[in-house]
Amino acid sequence: MQPLADVRVLAIEQFGAGPWGTLQLADLGADVIKIEDPASRGDVGRYVPPFAEGEDSLFFETFNRNKRSISLDLRHPEARSVFEDLVRGSDVVYSNLRGDQPAKLRLTYDDLKDVNPRIVCCSLSGFGMTGPRAAQGGYDYMMQGLAGWMSLTGDPAGPPTKSGLSLVDLSGGYASAIAVLAGLWRARRDGTGCDCDVSLLETAQHELMYVGTWAASRGYTPPRRRNSAHPSIMPFQNFETADGWIVVACPKERFWTLLCDAIERPELAEEFPTFADRDRRRDELSPILDEVFHSRTSGEWLEALSRAGVPCSPVNDVPAALEEARVVEYEHPRLGAVRQVASPLRLSGPEPPVQPGPARGEHTEQVLAEVCGYAPERIRALAESGVFGVDSRGDGDAEASAAT
């Protein structure tokens, strides 16, 4: 049995951050049930290019493997009773809406505790559920700007730059998954659920780490360093070689001594003996090291440095990086072969199976029968009332017409 096989999550989620958070739970065996809005044709991630076909995309697959999907219009007058029946049979209600929406849609613990006193209600939003920005939408790029990340990234002579990946979305997803697990532990221990209020902005601010501590404690303004150099440890950065780029890391004094021997410049270890010396005199040291590393190829330097015990690596492009990655592969009914990087959450035991992301509304009847105990007649009546939308199976054409 997988670690979270006895956990059921109702996920009112779309796009990136929220689905990434519940993906971690699904990969550990949780039954994650996506509640998709028929009026908007479900999760917007289904339609993200470039590799999209109908209501399926490789973007959506990345965030939604191992999940189930039901179609439910939460604005429909009959939907609330259906939703509460689902809550009775679940452990978590998870959403990544604007911060003011969980209260408006009655998705908070106060709204649901009488239905299920052990329910854990997690909201992942741009700015949190309280405060002056709760009603504002927030996205990864905005947070990288607001939290100061862009001011730290890029060449000193260039513009502020975002990370190449949506790291605030991914970090917010991870943070929300941790919050959910903590809430679940407490609910099972004490019998009482809770709200989890996680914001992308606070996650990004928290990840300023030691730079944030320096700035808050000493008024430090971190500079941008050329070649992605560490703010205070030298050398700990990229270097251009005769045919590419490598990363060289000397986060301990002994690595600096080993590096000087490996590049056949032992005198540098005596001239720049400490972290403080190298940081203070980096304008003198950098040109020396630049010239040294540019004299040989990346392969030659990586071999020499590795042999000497100096931490180093190539700067790969994505295809080269994937050559060393653990990859899972499965067949999708519309997209064909799908290959994804496997979860890093590896617990002892057999590898869990990987299932394709669900079609929109694919599991509506199955979930309502299994979780709520609804008979086929009850499900048919709900379908006829429109609670699942015009087209709950994801064909798209009738649904699109109704939505417009």
* Cα-to-chain-centroid distance, residue 290: 35
Q: What domains lie within the chain, and their CATH numbers?
A: 8-206+324-403 (3.40.50.10540), 226-240+245-314 (3.30.1540.10)
Give 48-84 as a DSSP string: -SSSEETTEEHHHHHHHTTEEEEE--TTSTTHHHHHH
pTM of the model: 0.92
CA 97/CA 103 separation, integer angstroms: 11
Determine the Cα–Cα distance for residues 24 and 347; give it in Å rounded to an integer.
Answer: 13
Q: What is the pLDDT of residues 69-123, one digit of tens each?
A: 999 999 999 999 999 999 999 999 999 999 999 999 999 999 999 999 999 999 9
275, 233 Cβ separation under 8 angstroms: yes
Residues belonging to the active site: 230
CA distance 138 to 364: 30
Question: What's the pLDDT at 391?
Answer: 58
CA distances to 26, 124, 131, 345 from 171, in Å: 17, 11, 22, 15
pLDDT of residue 349: 87
Q: What is the DSSP letter of 225?
A: -
22 vs 391: CA distance, rounded Å: 25
In this prediction, residue 118 carries a pLDDT of 98
Distance CA 16, CA 239 (A): 33
C-alpha–C-alpha distance, residues 328 and 354, integer Å: 8
